[in-house]
Structure 1
Amino acid sequence: MNAPPKIDPVAAHPDSDVLHWLTNDTRDERFIDNIFAELCVRLQRAGIPVKRASLHILIHHPQWLGARIMWVDGMREAEIARVDYDVRERSEYIGSPANEIHDGATEVRENLERDPSPGRKHAVYDEMREKGLTDYVAWPLYHTLGKRHIVTFATDRPGGFDDAHIGCLLKLLPILALVSEIRVKNRLARTLLETYVGSHAGELILAGATRRGSGTTVRAAIMICDLRDFTRISDNWPRDDVIDLLNGYFDAMSEPIARHGGEILKFIGDGLLAIFPLSHPSACADLLHAVAEARQAMVALNEKNSEAGRAPLNYGIGVHVGDVMYGNIGSRSRLDFTVIGPAVNMASRLETLTKQLGRTVLLSRAFADFVESDFDLERVGEYPVRGFSEPIELFAYHG
């Protein structure tokens, strides 16, 4: 008896090559938006008439809840839009397919060639009808431990998707869930590291710099900033007011530092430690530009605080330059990626001296040598600094 002829699964099931590609050929692509755009193009080539598709991912970034990845026929790349934390209070979300999925629906299907289904008169459906789309489907995309994201597909084919199209798309969901979860968790790990240790330190940690004691010597400009009278404020103000005040203060200080290439290594109570590596020729000038912008931001913050009946915030900044040890320090099971060394101690001492000398920003002579010709610095004099044998020549910077 002759053996039955072998059936080419790709020829028999036009979505099989898409599944094979998604399963086996995406390992070298780091970004889920690129994978999603390519997926949609491959679905079209397989005869599945996708005209518009979106992927809605919950990220829980410190500044935004998630992201919407949108692909439309003809786009070479998917479009990424951040989703704010308050989105669930907005009309664009209330009653939307995303709302239904997050409330537990396992499928949202809308025939866009007919009048809206009862209870589904949402703007997103009107928008799709106006663009000539005929059918829309949304499904939850399940990640580990029941975490639900959303994927949607729409078509302009007369009559919409047929049963075979829907079957092919459903077959993709488990693989798309796995592929997307890996990328989302990679992005989340990177985001968390950037948030808690800074972008440069985060990159080093992801690259394998996780062993206790591992590190390198870096020559850098060091900036330490501390809020004055914080103990009095925290003892006398309501907790939420104290947190709001600290967040406003750190925003005013941190955003200019990041804008000018500095890296905040840690927040210490009401203080912060930042470095500007001298691998950038303009690092010292960049630091002073950041200080000037931070001071302007603090003026604006104090005006806002005054309008709310709060006292102005005062602060001190100490700046030095030198070699620091940059790396992992801590116990066997709990590490901190930071900088240590005499140069850090000097910056800390200068910040403390700002109170004694009545200055907001104090710079060491070593730092001033890098920028004195380009910035208007006031020589304050020579002063003893605790822990250092010789007096240090100090300069004030008024921004």
Structure 2
Amino acid sequence: MNAPPNIDHVTAHADGDVLHWLTNDTRDERFLDNIFAELCLRLQRAGVPVKRATLHLMIVHPQWLGSRIMWADGMREAELRRVDYDVRERSDYIDSPANELHDGAAEVREDLERAPALSRKHVFYDRMRAKGLTDYVAWPLYHTLGKRHIVTFATDQPGGFDDAHIAGLLRLLPVLALVSEIRMKNRLARTLLETYVGSHASELVLAGATRRGSGTTVRAAIMICDLRDFTRISDNWPRDEVIDLLNGYFDAMSEPIARHGGEILKFIGDGLLAIFPLSNPSACANLLHAVAEARQAMIALNEKNGETGREPLNYGIGIHVGDVMYGNIGSQTRLDFTVIGPAVNMASRLETLTKQLGRTVLLSRAFADFVNSDFDLERVGEYPVRGFSDPIELFAYHG
């Protein structure tokens, strides 16, 4: 009579199937949350009683410290949540497993079946017990150059994970680290490009449009905005307050632009350059809707600044429409993905004229022809524009 198979051997074989999948069969999956959910499902099928699992990642992003991927039994897809920068100041983070691991612990494990008097007092473990979980383990997930992230597993099996389960999970960690780092680096490259050159330009760069001089002609509405008297403000206000003022101003201007389909190509000191490609038939109208919303946001910002003794911020906006060259310009080692051309120069000249004419927003006749019947535009007159031979008919928009 044959002896029964050794359970450790069977578990190791099943874990090996999961490891083989993770190593060889995930290369075509772009999103880490999908890989993590599938990993947990495969672990269950392999006999590892995972009931809940999380992956905590530190990311490089202007708004978030990191992200958390959470999977629980019954979920086909994992839940992805962003983590704010202030998380480490919150009471529920203090003495949490994440805090212990970030402080250097090599493992955090909690027997959730122990009597409360013998257990660590932390709201996190109380929540795990309330879900019927019996065992919880968390490990650091090491990326290149010592970067530490976190992976956790929990079970509701009586007695918790056995030694074979823990050994199998530990065997997966080095490969999970590699798989997650690749996806994080890909996401990081996309995030940084979107942050610094905009969503459309980032797609072009990622698609291979990196050769100097490469580009395309785009017909677009162009918007250039600039703060008034910023040199005086920056000379008289503390540095940190100047940065805070600028960030508030750029938020007020930028969020409506993005919301209405515009793309900010460049922040230039206290100014910005944005385009609304005419491939969208509503581009010009969308631009003016964005300007109207930005105006209201600036009114609210100035009211808020006034409560703390800051003087109001004034600005000028020049708007034109035309063909622009959209592509890579710069030196052999430093490129800028931007737009150039006479239409951009015209928008810049109109922004400068807002100071001379005492108007906040000036539009060219070429732009006004796209929207004149839909918006209340005020004809200002014809004025010479530096660099252009004929006077330009100008309109003001009051939003």
TM range (shorter): over 0.9
Deviation at 1:10, TM superposition (A): 7.9
User: What SS does the aligned partner of 2:14 have?
Assistant: coil
In 2, the alpha carbon distance for the partners of 1:375 and 1:10 equals 73
Q: Specify the alignment match of 1:244 in structure 2.
A: 244
Number of matched pairs: 391
Q: 2:263–2:274: 8 Å Cα contact kept in structure 1?
A: yes
Deviation at 1:92, TM superposition (A): 1.7
In 1, the alpha carbon distance for the partners of 2:10 and 2:331 equals 55
Residues 339, 118 of structure 1: alpha-carbon distance in 2 compared, 3 angstrom cutoff: farther
| 4+ long deviations beyond 4 Å | 9-12, 116-119
Which stretches in structure 1 are left out of the alignment for 5+ residues?
1-8
Q: Which deviations, in whole Å up to 9, do the C-alpha atoms of 1:304-325 show, x marking residues without a partner?
A: 1111111110000000000000
Q: Specify the alignment match of 1:49 in structure 2.
A: 49
Q: 1:227–1:313: 8 Å Cα contact kept in structure 2?
A: yes
Q: Specify the alignment match of 2:373 in structure 1.
A: 373
Q: Specify the alignment match of 2:198 in structure 1.
A: 198
- The TM-score with structure 1 as length reference comes to 0.97
Residues 113, 323 of structure 1: alpha-carbon distance in 2 compared, 3 angstrom cutoff: same
Alignment partner of 1:16 is 2:11: no
- Give the letter for the 1:349 counterpart: R
- Give the letter for the 1:238 counterpart: P
Which stretches in structure 2 are left out of the alignment for 5+ residues?
1-8
RMSD: 1.1
- Give the letter for the 1:316 counterpart: G
User: What SS does the aligned partner of 2:68 have?
Assistant: strand
Deviation at 1:11, TM superposition (A): 8.2
Q: 2:55–2:151: 8 Å Cα contact kept in structure 1?
A: yes
In 2, the alpha carbon distance for the partners of 1:321 and 1:288 equals 13
Q: Which deviations, in whole Å up to 9, do the C-alpha atoms of 1:72-125 show, x marking residues without a partner?
A: 000111001110001000012111000000000000000000135878311111
In 1, the alpha carbon distance for the partners of 2:11 and 2:87 equals 44
Q: Which deviations, in whole Å up to 9, do the C-alpha atoms of 1:140-195 show, x marking residues without a partner?
A: 00000000000000000000000000000000000000000000011111000000
In 1, the alpha carbon distance for the partners of 2:177 and 2:116 equals 30
Name the % identity.
88
Q: Map 1:20-39 onto structure 2 (within 5 A).
A: 20-39=20-39
Q: 1:95–1:120: 8 Å Cα contact kept in structure 2?
A: no
In 2, the alpha carbon distance for the partners of 1:118 and 1:99 equals 21
Q: Which deviations, in whole Å up to 9, do the C-alpha atoms of 1:294-337 show, x marking residues without a partner?
A: 00000000001111111110000000000000000000000000
Residues 92, 60 of structure 1: alpha-carbon distance in 2 compared, 3 angstrom cutoff: farther
Q: Specify the alignment match of 2:215 in structure 1.
A: 215
Residues 52, 388 of structure 1: alpha-carbon distance in 2 compared, 3 angstrom cutoff: same
Q: Specify the alignment match of 2:390 in structure 1.
A: 390
Residues 196, 118 of structure 1: alpha-carbon distance in 2 compared, 3 angstrom cutoff: farther
Q: Specify the alignment match of 2:276 in structure 1.
A: 276
User: What SS does the aligned partner of 1:13 have?
Assistant: helix
Q: Specify the alignment match of 2:341 in structure 1.
A: 341
Residues 142, 11 of structure 1: alpha-carbon distance in 2 compared, 3 angstrom cutoff: closer
Deviation at 1:60, TM superposition (A): 2.4
Q: Which deviations, in whole Å up to 9, do the C-alpha atoms of 1:119-140 show, x marking residues without a partner?
A: 8311111001001000000000
In 1, the alpha carbon distance for the partners of 2:392 and 2:233 equals 32
Q: Specify the alignment match of 1:232 in structure 2.
A: 232
Q: Map 1:60-79 onto structure 2 (within 5 A).
A: 60-79=60-79
Q: Specify the alignment match of 1:314 in structure 2.
A: 314
Q: 2:11–2:46: 8 Å Cα contact kept in structure 1?
A: no
In 1, the alpha carbon distance for the partners of 2:331 and 2:117 equals 60
- Give the letter for the 1:38 counterpart: E
Q: 1:10–1:17: 8 Å Cα contact kept in structure 2?
A: no
Q: Which sits farther off after the overlay, 13-22 or 137-146? A: 13-22
User: What SS does the aligned partner of 2:296 have?
Assistant: helix
Residues 362, 119 of structure 1: alpha-carbon distance in 2 compared, 3 angstrom cutoff: farther
In 2, the alpha carbon distance for the partners of 1:47 and 1:11 equals 7
